[in-house]
Chains A and B, each alone.
Chain A
Amino acid sequence: MGEVVADLTVREIARAAETVLGQPVVLTPATDIARDLAVDSLALMNIVMELEDKFDLSIPLDRMALVQTVGDLASLIDELRTKA
């Protein structure tokens, strides 16, 4: 079950990244956001803003410090969702 949730979250992250970057994006939980996606800190913050709207929750920027991969981001979102 957890796997399925994470999968859906990863798909939403891809969609948010496409919106912000304006190009098709392929990613997996192992994708390193800065290195593999060449996403700078500003683009990442904008992706976070898209995801906040998608999931209707707050993702505080300070929580992003430990996020390196798409999987990290998906787990953070799933954690925030179960809390909300």
Chain B
Amino acid sequence: MGLLQKHLGQLEAYSGIRRAGADPFQVAFDAVLSPTEGLINGKRVILLGTNNYLGLTFDQESVEASVEAVRRWGTGTTGSRIANGSYGAHTQLEQSLASFYGRKHAMVFTTGYQANLGVLSALVGRGDHLILDADSHASIYDGARLGHAEVIRFRHNDPEDLYKRLRRLEGQPGDRLIVVEGIYSMMGDVAPLREMVEVKKETGAYLLVDEAHSMGVLGEKGRGLAEAAGVEEDVDFIVGTFSKSLGAIGGFCVSDADDFDILRVVSRPYMFTASLPPAVVASTLKSLEKVEADGALRAQLMANAERLHAGLNALGFTTGPKASPIVAVVMPDLPTALSMWNGLLAGGVYLNLALPPATPNNRPLLRSSVSAAHTPEQIDEVLAIFEWVGREFGVLPSLDQRAAG
């Protein structure tokens, strides 16, 4: 064991999970048939945990653009942009993002994770204050650790708590940067952005919104929560990813901040990793056009989200309060969560098993993400399987019990 001895606790927990059935963290697909269907061990499953919100992974034009780019520009850039230079498409993507958001500047990173690392570590430094929502994504926490600012958490989605914590910093020197997410990745809940903007203005802080799960999903034009809440002017930085609604991989930051481009030579997660391959940039550019042009995809996504959310609640499952493309079913405990997850997979539904401490309130979650590409029939099939498995494992009362009660 040696060096890995320190992970003994995790090792035991993980072994326990694997003994319960399939390994939820190493699911292997034989094939991906479409944005909503895959094959696991020869069995067809509905994909309900892929963050493929608009179903663009198999979009014909995006695929063709990717194929053409790989033929013309090769398979990879083999280095970072400061060392190996930029390809035309990198710059074009940055211009397209800036224009999509109506901002002066845009910068592309190799993943959304790295975008948070690169932006948070460079925007605030020693003597500054980073104020994070307690339920922030790991990449935000890790970005906070990479920099040297003082890090304070506020209670999840609680503008009053945010205000209180900023007030405590009164009189201390240094800049303040508040970080929130558009849609939270575990429960699918949305930040009360207008109220947070009020707090930001009153306390003279800057505001960054990570729109990873809300880009392409919220707002009339798909620009995310800032657009939907009508506060884009008061959001100083937007971070996002190409790995969800845009169906590829990569991250970005857009802003109107003066001298924004200095980040390219001070942000280590931008400087010291290879840039996105041309094929990825090409499909992302195409998908961004679709996000901008095709409001019908968003409407379909929301209709599907509502169908799943309403259906699960009607069955008696505990979910978040409002329909959102992320629908999480709260599980009473780990053994039940494992049985349910395995039962759903065996029944033909693939979704995410989310475990504490990554989940709020220390509860395991069955986290699903809906796609515009799901058909109503697929959602109904999912609900039927959920009902069956829920009764099997006692999350829902069995039918006889109900008749008796």
Q: Do A and B come from one complex?
A: yes
Q: Mark A64-82, 1 if CB is under 8 A from B, else 0.
A: 0000000000000000000
A46 to B164, CA, bound (A): 16
> What residues on A are CB-neighbors of B144 within 8 Å?
61
* Contact of A28 with B by CB under 8 A: no
* Contact of A30 with B by CB under 8 A: no
* Contact of A1 with B by CB under 8 A: no
* Partner of B168 from A48, A56, A63 at Cβ < 8 Å: A56
* Contact of B322 with A by CB under 8 A: no
* Contact of B155 with A by CB under 8 A: yes
Assess the A58–B165 pair: CB atoms within 8 A.
yes
CB distance from A16 to the nearest CB of B (A): 14
Which residue of chain B lies nearest to A42 when distances are taken between CB atoms in the complex?
A: B357
Which residue of chain A lies nearest to B172 when distances are taken between CB atoms in the complex?
A: A58
Range for the number of chain A residues in contact with chain B = 10 to 19
* Contact of A36 with B by CB under 8 A: no
* Contact of A57 with B by CB under 8 A: yes
A40 to B362, CA, bound (A): 11
Assess the A58–B153 pair: CB atoms within 8 A.
no
* Contact of A60 with B by CB under 8 A: yes
* Partner of B169 from A41, A53, A58, A61 at Cβ < 8 Å: A58
> What residues on B are CB-neighbors of A48 within 8 Å?
153
Contacts of B135-157 to chain A: CB distance below 8 A: 144-145, 148-153, 155
Assess the B165–A52 pair: CB atoms within 8 A.
yes
> What residues on A are CB-neighbors of B155 within 8 Å?
49
> What residues on A are CB-neighbors of B356 within 8 Å?
42
CB distance from B120 to the nearest CB of A (A): 13
Which residue of chain A lies nearest to B359 when distances are taken between CB atoms in the complex?
A: A42
Q: A41-B357, A42-B357 are in contact. Are A60 and B150 (CB under 8 A)?
A: yes
Which residue of chain B lies nearest to A63 when distances are taken between CB atoms in the complex?
A: B150
Contacts of A39-55 to chain B: CB distance below 8 A: 40-43, 45-46, 48-49, 52-53
Assess the A45–B152 pair: CB atoms within 8 A.
no
A63 to B149, CA, bound (A): 11
> What residues on B are CB-neighbors of A46 within 8 Å?
134
Assess the B168–A45 pair: CB atoms within 8 A.
no
> What residues on B are CB-neighbors of A60 within 8 Å?
129, 150-152
Contacts of B101-152 to chain A: CB distance below 8 A: 129, 134, 144-145, 148-152
Assess the A58–B357 pair: CB atoms within 8 A.
no
Assess the B150–A49 pair: CB atoms within 8 A.
no
Which residue of chain B lies nearest to A57 when distances are taken between CB atoms in the complex?
A: B168
* Partner of A40 from B134, B149, B357 at Cβ < 8 Å: B357
> What residues on A are CB-neighbors of B148 within 8 Å?
62
Residue of A40, A53, A60 most packed against chain B (CB within 10 A):
A60
Q: A40-B357, A61-B144 are in contact. Are A45 and B165 (CB under 8 A)?
A: no
Contacts of B159-209 to chain A: CB distance below 8 A: 164-165, 168-169
Assess the A45–B134 pair: CB atoms within 8 A.
yes
Residue of B148, B149, B357 most packed against chain A (CB within 10 A):
B357
Q: A42-B356, A42-B357, A49-B155 are in contact. Are A58 and B134 (CB under 8 A)?
A: no
CB distance from B140 to the nearest CB of A (A): 12
Which residue of chain B lies nearest to A22 when distances are taken between CB atoms in the complex?
A: B362
Which residues of A are in contact with B by a Cβ distance under 8 Å? 40-43, 45-46, 48-49, 52-53, 56-63
21 contacts between A and B (CB under 8 A): A43-B357, A45-B153, A46-B134, A48-B153, A49-B134, A49-B155, A52-B165, A52-B168, A53-B164, A56-B168, A58-B152, A58-B165, A58-B169, A59-B152, A60-B129, A60-B150, A60-B152, A61-B152, A61-B153, A62-B148, A63-B150
New contact pairs (16) apart from A60-B152, A62-B150, CB-CB < 8 Å:
A45-B153, A46-B134, A49-B155, A56-B168, A58-B165, A58-B168, A58-B169, A60-B151, A61-B144, A61-B151, A61-B152, A61-B153, A62-B145, A62-B148, A62-B149, A63-B150
Question: 10 tightest A-B contacts by CB?
Answer: A60-B150, A42-B357, A61-B151, A58-B168, A40-B357, A58-B152, A62-B151, A60-B151, A49-B153, A58-B169
